[in-house]
Chain A
Amino acid sequence: MKIGPLNIPIKEDFSIKSLLNFEKTPANMLIAVLTLSFLAMFVVGIATYLIHGHHAYNVTREHPWGLLIAVYIFFVVSSTGFCIVGSLGDVFGFKDYMMISKRAIFGSIVTILAGFAVIAFEIGHPVTMLIYNVLSPGLTSAIWWMGTLYGVYLTFMIIEFYFLLNNDMKKAKIFGLSGLLVGLAAHSNLGSVFGFLNARPISNGVFYPTYFILTAFITGIFLSFIVMGFRYKLDFNAQTKKMLEGLAKIQGLLISILIFFVTWKMLTDIYGGMPNRAEVAEHIFHSWTFWAEVILAMAIPLVVILTTMGKKPVLMFWVSLSGMVGVFFMRYNLVHDTQLKPLQMLKTTEYQLAPEWIHYFPSTTEMFISLGGLGLCIAMYYVGTKVFNLDEEHH
């Protein structure tokens, strides 16, 4: 280890050139090419947005929130999830999970930065936001609380990571706990952005603020399998196997609770018969994206965990990859389903039919910026693995 600026320990062999030093296996080369392609798409997407503004997106008056909001939520949920998993070891003192703390906390920083990068091109005036968030805060707005708390959360995560790198576990614990609490508050506020909408009965209520915390933990465990899989090239040592087995068992419990939650939400929404909620829930029930979420993020992982008792970490790695695709659909569905029902049910022009369901499909620009966010996330994480020692250090 050598000491970098601000007393930050960095790897002895790190140099700009070392970023190009990786095992040139077909899988690694594929990931490298994909990441660079995603970054190129990010640049093209941003350029298109800067020229055409929101007209480059398929968002409309009736469906003002599109793919970028879903992707932002996807990243910040990932960040909160990483934060929860990282806290198991360094905040709550579960020794088995100490080995992933530093990596998970770094992951939480990287994912939230990717989320911020994406949302910056969805918010029409991000600079105005920074100014008036402070000068005239809307304290009744869930978005204000969510954004502000995420800013504080990111600060705590960075400070915690600094102390983890310096092996100052006492201070890391203090900032870790603070970051976790603020992160949970921020994340449940993100759920309440939807929960407070009394215009949208399908989202209104307590469900989303609590569901967001549960799904964040689930996402964090999926991501832990993925990052540890890459770290050990799927050849786990005994200590890692033990930790992953523990995580898989927790995941089994969490997914069971999630299935219970979603089942009852669907049942009460559909059979509760509340206007503007029941028919929307029934529409969601018949959409393929809902089943993509159920099968990829819930059914397959739970079946695998129950049949293997969580003892096959390599299989769990692959399941976690498909689980993250399911989590993406979870976020996309949340955003789209909230806006499915038109608020104005009458015809508003002479030769137009009365509106039925609001249709939306992301534009190429929206997809490019979203994939760009993923590319940014992978690239930042890769650079982090080259610069910092993300493994547990024993003293």
Chain B
Amino acid sequence: MARYGMALDYKSCINCKACEVACKEENGILMGADKHRIWVGNGEIEGQYPLLDITSNAFYPSQCQHCDEAPCEEVCPTHATYYTEDGIVRVDPEKCILCSYCMNACPYDARYVDDRTVTVDKCTFCADTRLARGETTTACQNTCPTKVRIFGDLDDPNSEISEVLRTREHFSLKANLGTKPKLFYLT
């Protein structure tokens, strides 16, 4: 089986938010600022004019990190949150009781409540839509004009993501928490 992950060449991000729109469109996410699976974090410019630090004004596209040691999975009282064979962290709405413990436990603020199912929802790497149709890219990746995102199989040594992780330095968010995220930020 594959073990899916994503690399983000975040310095190429122009904050056009096409990824946010594509995600909502592809996966039928409800409107509303709180209802999002992915987002672009925006660092503020630091310093005082004219001595501005423009490097602080970077854009950090983000979403569920699909951790190998996901705190949300560990705290779920009914196993509604589970790992698929592809290493994707998913929520089974049938089992979710909306105790919101996973929302509190996720260090990345990657979860929200879907008002239709009244259960917790999150990024699925488009497993129910694009991957189910046999496509090999996610909606956010496919729409990105500057090709920030590289999605693929981490266990396949010939995949683009494996290649880029071998050849470029990268970091993970909040790696000190031991969650082993599968989102990698390329430097």
Judged by a CB distance under 8 angstroms, whether B145 is at the interface is no
Q: Interface size bucket, A side? A: 35 or more
Residue from the list B62, B71, B77, B118 in contact with A124, Cβ < 8 A: B118
Judged by a CB distance under 8 angstroms, whether A311 is at the interface is no
Residue from the list A65, A345, A346, A350 in contact with B100, Cβ < 8 A: A65
Contacts A343-B106, A344-B41, A346-B60 aside, 4 further interface pairs with beta carbons under 8 A come to: A137-B78, A143-B75, A199-B71, A343-B107
- A60 and B79 within 8 A (CB): no
- B95 and A128 within 8 A (CB): yes
Q: Map CB proximity to B onto A190-217 as digits: 1 under 8 Å, 0 otherwise.
A: 0001001111100000000000000000
Residue of A nearest to B58 (CB): A346
Residues from chain B with Cβ under 8 Å of A345 in the complex: 41
- A196 and B75 within 8 A (CB): yes
Residue from the list B43, B96, B118 in contact with A53, Cβ < 8 A: B118
Residues from chain B with Cβ under 8 Å of A339 in the complex: 104
Please report the C-alpha to C-alpha distance between residue A140 and residue B103 in the assembled complex, in whole angstroms: 16
State how many residues of chain B have any CB contact under 8 Å with chain A.
45
Q: Map CB proximity to B onto A321-356 as digits: 1 under 8 Å, 0 otherwise.
A: 000000000000000001100111111111000100
Q: For the complex of A and B, list the 8 residue pairs with the smallest distance between their C-beta atoms, beginning with the closest.
A: A124-B98, A346-B41, A199-B107, A132-B78, A64-B100, A144-B77, A343-B109, A347-B42
The smallest beta-carbon distance between B173 and chain A, in angstroms, is: 10
Judged by a CB distance under 8 angstroms, whether B86 is at the interface is no
Residues from chain B with Cβ under 8 Å of A347 in the complex: 41-44
Judged by a CB distance under 8 angstroms, whether A138 is at the interface is yes
8 Å CB contacts to B: which residues of A43-70?
Answer: 53-54, 59-62, 64-65
Judged by a CB distance under 8 angstroms, whether A286 is at the interface is no
- B74 and A141 within 8 A (CB): yes
Residue of A nearest to B42 (CB): A347
8 Å CB contacts to A: which residues of B103-125?
Answer: 103-109, 111-113, 115, 118-119
Judged by a CB distance under 8 angstroms, whether B34 is at the interface is yes
Judged by a CB distance under 8 angstroms, whether A133 is at the interface is yes
A123 touching B98 in the complex, CB below 8 Å, given contacts A343-B108, A347-B42: yes
Judged by a CB distance under 8 angstroms, whether A125 is at the interface is yes
Identify whether the interface residues of A are mostly helix, strand, loop, or mixed: loop
Residues from chain A with Cβ under 8 Å of B40 in the complex: 348
The smallest beta-carbon distance between B118 and chain A, in angstroms, is: 5
- B97 and A199 within 8 A (CB): no
Judged by a CB distance under 8 angstroms, whether A229 is at the interface is no
Residue from the list A62, A125, A141 in contact with B96, Cβ < 8 A: A125
Judged by a CB distance under 8 angstroms, whether A149 is at the interface is no
- A61 and B78 within 8 A (CB): no
Residue of B nearest to A194 (CB): B104
Residue of B nearest to A346 (CB): B41
8 Å CB contacts to A: which residues of B91-149?
Answer: 94-101, 103-109, 111-113, 115, 118-119
- A126 and B97 within 8 A (CB): yes
The smallest beta-carbon distance between B32 and chain A, in angstroms, is: 10
- B104 and A338 within 8 A (CB): yes
The smallest beta-carbon distance between B12 and chain A, in angstroms, is: 17
A124 touching B97 in the complex, CB below 8 Å, given contacts A140-B74, A346-B60: yes
